[in-house]
């Protein structure tokens, strides 16, 4: 059966699957229910499924939550139907999966990567927000699939099912990578360091969404990846009674606010795009106590590693100066990091030739540079470094609000088209 027909036949199931994932969003390193569901299905389809410490270099993980938080997430996942044995096997901070199916000794190793984690966003209850309207809004407090990873898992499983059920005549090996902790670019490095793509010849990453103009388009590469680093900064001051002895304070909130304004004011770099975002700021314990602590969660980005390094250096200088201004101490810790990703232009051109004839996309541009960061870069760069080829594709969708916004939503038809595209690419290279 053609991929198109297959997807048409299974469309309701794929939509249900996506909505199920959407209802149970799990933040980075806590994807127990999602990963268990994914693994279960892959096993049922006949894949060799490796997970947990088998596919992670534990020391390369970044930005892990506390064990308490992980424990609670494991319990909740099991409450919500995750297979306890799989959850147990993943254990603390090991929610990674690699599924393999070998067709022949000759032929290429072709890998696809999907990510599984959700965002720290409270999903909108607005009546025009489809998940709220139809009833598959997030069941989890302060968590939402606001970046489309629910569809990524669904597309990965759709691809897995198509290949498993149409494997006659295929050569080589397919490798399906389900990565934890893409948000915060914390998870890919540990999988790459564990060697999971060291044997890969062709590597494909993909992301849904981006913006309205790209609706129903399929871009064969993204040259616009930004290198990024995720940092936490904590200021420690001294708290005093705000009315009775204000002069004794070492005001960590003033240090923090001064840092935020100056961080956001770091000069642009002439050699390419740069970004600063202080995404979270928490300071103070009580209204009438001068604040003795301030916590900043921030990220830098740069079109190149050099530009990102410039941002980091300025960040450190600013935080140090802000602390000193208010007689505070401080510490800075790294929570995640990824380089800019490389693309094999020839592979992207081939993809363009493979996808265009499908006739399901309005346009199939060679490139779309979205300006985001993605630790898929680790996979791409490792494969290219070892002589393979790699690209990262963009599946445009008419999103209702920017990524990470409480109103974010994609068009499910685009997700279905995505499965067709992935199935077609896989079949092409495995034939």
By C-beta, is 108 or 284 nearer to a copy of itself? 284
384 lines the binding site for a copy of itself (CB under 8 A) = no
Contacts with a copy of itself, 393-422, as mask; x by CB under 8 A? ---------xxxxx----------------
**How near is the Cβ of 302 to a copy of itself at its closest, in Å?**
10
254 lines the binding site for a copy of itself (CB under 8 A) = yes
Q: What residues numbered 162-201 form the site for a copy of itself, per CB under 8 A?
A: 183-184
By C-beta, is 108 or 272 nearer to a copy of itself? 272
**How near is the Cβ of 99 to a copy of itself at its closest, in Å?**
28
Q: What residues numbered 79-138 form the site for a copy of itself, per CB under 8 A?
A: 119-122
By C-beta, is 95 or 274 nearer to a copy of itself? 274
Q: What residues numbered 4-63 form the site for a copy of itself, per CB under 8 A?
A: none
**How near is the Cβ of 403 to a copy of itself at its closest, in Å?**
4
Q: Which among 79-87, 128-136, 148-156, 365-373 is the span making contact with a copy of itself, rule CB under 8 A? A: 365-373
By C-beta, is 2 or 369 nearer to a copy of itself? 369
Member of 46, 321, 333, 385 binding a copy of itself (CB under 8 A):
321
Instruction: Give the number of residues in contact with a copy of itself, rule: CB under 8 A.
Output: 85
Contacts with a copy of itself, 213-242, as mask; x by CB under 8 A? -------------x-x-x-------xxxxx
267 lines the binding site for a copy of itself (CB under 8 A) = yes
**How near is the Cβ of 359 to a copy of itself at its closest, in Å?**
29
Contacts with a copy of itself, 285-304, as mask; x by CB under 8 A? xxxxxxxx-x--xxx-x---
CB atoms closer than 10 angstroms to residue 48: 12
**How near is the Cβ of 317 to a copy of itself at its closest, in Å?**
6
By C-beta, is 22 or 314 nearer to a copy of itself? 314
By C-beta, is 20 or 299 nearer to a copy of itself? 299
For the chain, the three-class secondary structure string (H helix, E strand, C coil) is: CCHHHHHHHHHHHHHHHHHHHHHCCCCCCCCHHHHHHHHHHHHHCCCEEEEHHHHCCHHHCCCCCCHHHHHHHHHHHHHCCCCHHHHHHHCCCCCCEEEEEECCCCCCEEEEEEECCCECCCCCCCCCCHHHHHCCCCCCCCCECCCCHHHHHHHHHHHHHHHHHCCCCCCCEEEEEEECCCCCCCCHHHHHHCCCCCCCCEEEEEEEECCHHHCCEEECCCCCCCEEEEEEEEEECECCECCCCHHHCECHHHHHHHHHHHHHCCCCECCECEEEEEEEEEECCCCCECCCEEEEEEEEEECCHHHHHHHHHHHHHHHHHHHHHCCCEEEEEEEEEECCCCCCHHHHHHHHHHHHHHCCCCECCCCCCCCCCCCHHHHHHHHHHCCCEEEEEEEECCCCCCCCCCCCCCCHHHHHHHHHHHHHHHHHHHC
């Amino acid at each position: 059966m053609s991929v198109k027909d297959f997807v048409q036949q299974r469309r309701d199931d794929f939509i249900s699957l996506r909505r199920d994932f959407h209802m149970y969003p799990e933040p980075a390193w806590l994807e127990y229910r999602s990963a268990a569901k994914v693994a279960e299905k892959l096993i049922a389809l006949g894949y060799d499924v490796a997970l947990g410490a088998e596919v992670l270099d534990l020391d390369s993980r970044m930005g892990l939550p506390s064990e308490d938080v992980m424990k609670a997430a494991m319990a909740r996942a099991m409450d919500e139907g995750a297979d306890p044995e799989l959850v147990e096997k993943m254990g603390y901070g090991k929610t990674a999966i690699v599924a393999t199916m070998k067709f022949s000794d000759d032929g290429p190793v072709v890998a696809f990567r999907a990510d599984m984690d959700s965002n720290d966003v409270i999903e909108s209850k607005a009546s025009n927000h489809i998940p709220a309207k139809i009833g598959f809004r997030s069941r989890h407090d302060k968590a939402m699939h606001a970046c489309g990873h629910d569809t990524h898992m669904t597309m990965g499983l759709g691809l897995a099912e198509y290949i498993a059920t149409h494997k006659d005549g295929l050569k080589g090996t397919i490798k399906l990578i389900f990565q934890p902790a893409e948000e915060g670019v914390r998870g890919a490095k540990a999988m790459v360091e564990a060697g999971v793509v060291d044997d890969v010849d062709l590597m494909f990453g993909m992301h849904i969404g981006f913006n309205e103009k790209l609706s129903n388009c399929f871009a064969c590469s993204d040259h616009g990846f930004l290198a990024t680093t995720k940092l936490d900064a904590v200021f420690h001051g001294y708290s005093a009674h705000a009315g009775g002895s204000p002069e004794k304070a070492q005001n960590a909130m003033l240090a923090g606010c001064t840092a935020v304004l100056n961080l956001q004011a770091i000069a642009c770099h002439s050699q390419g795009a740069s970004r600063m975002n202080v995404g979270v700021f928490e300071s103070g314990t009580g209204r009438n106590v001068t604040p003795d602590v301030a916590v900043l969660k921030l990220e830098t980005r740069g079109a190149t590693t050099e530009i990102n390094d410039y941002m980091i250096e300025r960040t450190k200088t600013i935080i140090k100066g802000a602390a000193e201004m208010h007689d505070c101490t401080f510490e800075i810790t790294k929570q995640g990091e990824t380089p800019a990703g490389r693309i094999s232009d020839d592979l992207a051109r081939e993809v363009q030739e493979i996808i265009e004839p499908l006739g399901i996309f309005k346009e199939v541009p060679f490139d779309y540079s979205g300006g985001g960061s993605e630790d898929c870069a680790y996979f791409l760069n490792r494969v290219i470094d070892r002589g393979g080829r790699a690209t990262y594709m963009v599946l445009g969708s008419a999103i209702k609000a920017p990524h990470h916004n409480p109103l974010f939503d994609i068009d499910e038809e685009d997700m279905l088209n995505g499965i067709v595209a992935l199935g077609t690419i896989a079949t092409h290279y495995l034939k």
